[in-house]
Amino acid sequence: MEAQQGSPMSMLFIFIIFGLIFYFMIYRPQAKRNKEHKKLMSELTKGTEVLTAGGIIGKITKVVENSDSIVIALNDSTEVTINRNYIAAVLPKGTIKTL
């Protein structure tokens, strides 16, 4: 009988433990990645060398404020317009020349 009286408290304790595990293993890292990606998006400027989610490397030639689109030059004669959310990483200056 005594084990049944302690059971609701142990169930509550288990739910709290699972909630903490969920927070620290799933929610918190995802929120950190989202914050870093938003910071990356706000720092995009003309001349920045970027890598897209599709694996395209290029240099930003045009950033339109209050728009989701940016223009990336792949070489001297080819430009592509993409959604800014598809920028995966900002590359160090000079990366395109070394390829």
For the chain, how far is it from start to end, CA to CA, in angstroms?
A: 73
Does 2 score more than 50 pLDDT? no
| 44-62 tens-digit pLDDT | 899 999 999 999 999 999 9
| 15-48 tens-digit pLDDT | 999 999 999 999 999 999 999 988 888 888 999 9
- Which residue range forms the structural domain that includes residue 64? 44-95
In the chain, the number of structural domains is 2
* Contact by Cβ (8 Å): 86, 54: yes
Among residues of the chain, what percentage have pLDDT more than 90?
Answer: 62
Cβ-based burial of 50 (10 A; exposed 0-12, middle 13-18, buried ≥19): buried
Q: Are residues 90 and 52 in the same domain?
A: yes
Q: What's the pLDDT band for 1 if we cut at 50, 70, 90?
A: very low
CATH number of the domain to which 65 belongs: 2.30.30
Q: Are residues 48 and 22 in the same domain?
A: no
Distance from C-alpha of 61 to C-alpha of 41, rounded to nearest angstrom: 15
pLDDT reported for residue 66: 82
Average pLDDT, the chain: 88
